Amino acid sequence: MEKAPAKKPNKAANQGGFLNGMVRGRPRKVMVSKSATIDEMEIHTKESDRAPTVIPRIMDAKVEEIEIRPIKEPYSYVRITLNRETNAYLYEVIEPQLNKVETDVLGFLKDTVNKTLDYTLDEASKKDKEEYLRKSIESLLLSRGIKLSEVSRERIMYYLIRDFVGYGIIDVMMTDPSIEDVSCDGTRVPIYIFHRKFQSMRSNLIFKNDDEANSFIIGLAQKCGKTISVADPLLDATVPDGSRLQATLAREVTTRGTSFTIRRFRDNPFTPCDMMKMKTMSVDIVAYLWLAIEHGESMFVVGGTASGKTTTLNALFLFIPPQSKIVSIEDTREINLPHENWIAGLTRQSGGGKGQIKTVSDIDMFELMRAAMRQRPQYLIVGEVRGKEAYTLFQAMATGKTVYSTIHADSVRSMVHRLENPPIELPRLLLSSLNLVLLQAQVKVGRQMTRRVKGIIEIVGIEPETNELITNTVFSWNPANDVFSYNGHSFLFEKIMSAKNLTNDQMKEEYQKRIDVLNYMVKTNVKNHMEFAKVISGYYRDPEKVISDARHVLYGAQIQAPTGETSPFAQGYGAPEQRAPEAPKVVPPPKIIPPASPPAPAI
């Protein structure tokens, strides 16, 4: 039987309505492993005709599937595998597999949409953008006479929405809640991710050439409302979902090509309950910090890179009374608060490039800080202290403003050195305006890397004779047994007792109430930061009702907290007859001395 001669392709048909002939009557080509059997190939082909995405089988005997999760079912999935030979994990992104016809249709639709897209949708929500794109594609397919099966249509629509509304090739990574960082080191190098459970690992995604990577990062910069070019190849920006982006363009400053790092922030930020569950801090520390924030104590969160400083601050800000006026100042937007009475300040840099002469249009943190002083904030938040704005920040503390910020250091001593030396150069006397220092670090517990609050330190004052800083460590973390311990004395409790004229027992009860409310939220599984903020707001409005509900859940019909071993105070939390107070310590350079006068009785 003679074969019919193959028809020559019509070049004119490739411009406009050419796809109609391609779609109808052609067999579907599906890529399968060379080692697959005929039966497996038939099953794979049938599955691909029914579902938008088919999860490929693992053919390598040395590779073990650890877990597989849907990201946007039934279109995208994530599979984590372990290679037993190399002991390396792989983060495998699984998306719809397109055949030749679907690939051609997708390319045609992308080109057409790029030319006709309505750019007035920049301010629209993601849902509105998807709806507009779907209607535009449906209209385009109808006008060009392109007929597609339902499955093919959904596959193509997935990629169009992913590339025009989402984040392109990394959209799955930006949607997966388990990912902390997304890192591209250059072209033809696999994209790496930092997984909350499996730590750093390679993915199956890669930019194949410079043009693809350059085009991606320029488009991502535009999504962030910024520009990146060969003249100014460095970029710091905030991604629309709140994540932090640092990128370089081409091979101007990075020899392997375009690179970027995205530090992701959760849609639902961590709450203090989450910090307690992850053992970042204990319930006693959280209750102590609640009291400190409620009573306007200024605090620095001190730690190294990726130690979780901003995450901890965001969680603790949920204790700020709901009606308080808050002003935040940042280089890159990271603070995320549920409060309405909040002015979120952000620095502005012109396109002149970093390190060049400052232009009139530039607004730095120092200028924002001066403006904030005129806005009468009750709580002032600075993303990170690193320059001359620190002087204004400490002046605000000295005048009674409550200030929170972060700084890169690994101890109180190194923090003092950074603040007293260039480029900050603060006088020692101003440092005593700071009330609390929270030390946090990324540590190894067992085989896992995790975050821990290493200590809570109170700044007591300055020794007048030696001009050295006097500190008191309230809580500390023991790495040997992964336990937090109270060191016997707190000047914060004394300050609150004096301000409110409370007795020792009344102060204990106030502290215990907050512990009970926190345990109540953990027991009732309060996860959402809005739900957490609602409980805290209710406590400030009607504390007796909230504490009554909490103790009913925790202790049944018993209203008062038990005074046995379950009570923190029964274990020595500040009771003078149970534990002697520890003398405050001095943390200056280089020696430690006791305060001039003995401390008041501990609580």
Q: Where are the alpha helices (DSSP H) in 266-338?
A: 272-277, 283-294, 309-316
Do 198 and 278 form a contact (C-beta atoms < 8 A)?
no
Cα–Cα dist 352/356, whole Å: 7
Cα–Cα dist 344/328, whole Å: 5
pLDDT tens digits, 460-497:
999 988 889 999 999 999 999 999 999 989 999 999 99
More confident residue, 565 or 295: 295
pLDDT value of position 551: 94
User: 3-state SS of 440-476?
Assistant: EEEEEECCEEEEEEEEEEEEEEEECCCCEEEEEEEEE
Structure tokens given for 334: 């990271």
Q: What are phi and psi of 239, to 5 degrees?
A: -70, 150
Cα–Cα dist 595/462, whole Å: 9
* Domain 272-349+361-586 coded CATH 3.40.50.300: yes
Average pLDDT over residues 337-349: 91
| Helix and strand totals (H; E) in the chain | 18, 19
Rg (CA), the chain: 29
Structure tokens given for 504: 């020792």
Q: Does residue 236 carry a pLDDT above 60? A: yes
pLDDT tens digits, 40-95:
444 444 455 678 899 999 999 999 999 999 999 999 999 999 999 999 999 999 99
Classify 57 as helix, strand or coil. Answer: coil
Q: Does residue 175 carry a pLDDT above 70? A: yes
Is beta strand 259-263 parallel, antiparallel or unpaired with respect to 244-248?
antiparallel
Cα–Cα dist 346/332, whole Å: 7
Q: Does residue 348 carry a pLDDT above 60? A: yes
pLDDT value of position 602: 41
**By mean pLDDT, which of 79-88, 164-173, 261-270 is the weakest?**
261-270
Average pLDDT over residues 306-335: 92
Cα–Cα dist 592/586, whole Å: 4
Q: Does residue 582 carry a pLDDT above 60? A: no
Residue 600 DSSP class? P
Give the distance, in angstroms, between the CA of residue 260 and the centroid of all CA atoms in the same chain: 16
Task: Give me the DSSP letters along 322-338.
Answer: TT--EEEEESS------
Per-residue b or e along 410-433, where b marks 16 or more CB atoms closer than 10 Å to that residue's CB: ebbbebbebbbeeebebeeebbbb
Cα–Cα dist 55/73, whole Å: 12
Average pLDDT over residues 12-19: 41
pLDDT tens digits, 544-554:
999 999 999 99
Q: Where are the alpha helices (DSSP H) in 386-460?
A: 389-398, 412-420, 428-431
Classify 286 as helix, strand or coil. Answer: helix
Residue 178 burial (CB count, 10 A): 18
Q: CB-based contacts of 15: which residues, under 8 Å, 6+ apart?
A: none
pLDDT tens digits, 445-461:
988 889 999 999 999 99
pLDDT value of position 218: 96
Q: Does residue 590 carry a pLDDT above 90? A: no
Do 134 and 157 form a contact (C-beta atoms < 8 A)?
yes
Q: Does residue 23 carry a pLDDT above 80? A: no
Structure tokens given for 587: 């943390």
Structure tokens given for 351: 């396109």
Helix (H) / strand (E) element for 478: namely strand 468-478
Q: Does residue 340 carry a pLDDT above 60? A: yes
Residue among 371, 349, 347, 352 nearest 361 (CA): 349
Q: Percent of the chain scored above 70 by pLDDT?
A: 81
Q: Does residue 565 carry a pLDDT above 70? A: no
pLDDT tens digits, 505-537:
999 999 999 999 999 999 999 978 999 999 999
Q: Work out the pLDDT band at 115, boundaries 50, 70, 90.
A: confident
Residue 222 DSSP class? H
What residue spans define the domains of the chain? 100-166, 272-349+361-586
pLDDT value of position 64: 95
Structure tokens given for 111: 């080109």
pLDDT value of position 265: 80
Q: Does residue 31 carry a pLDDT above 50? A: no
Task: Give me the DSSP letters along 152-197.
Answer: HHHHHHHHHHHHHTS-GGGHHHHH-TTEEEEEE-STTSEEEEEETT
User: What does the mean pLDDT of the chain come to?
Assistant: 84
Q: Work out the pLDDT band at 350, boundaries 50, 70, 90.
A: low
Per-residue b or e along 231-268, where b marks 16 or more CB atoms closer than 10 Å to that residue's CB: ebbebebbbeeebbbebbbbbeebeebbbbbbbbbbee
- Establish whether the linkage from the previous residue to 423 is cis, with ω within 30° of 0: yes
Q: CB-based contacts of 175: which residues, under 8 Å, 6+ apart?
A: 71, 72, 76, 166
Structure tokens given for 3: 């074969």
Classify 215 as helix, strand or coil. Answer: helix
pLDDT tens digits, 91-109:
999 999 999 999 999 999 9
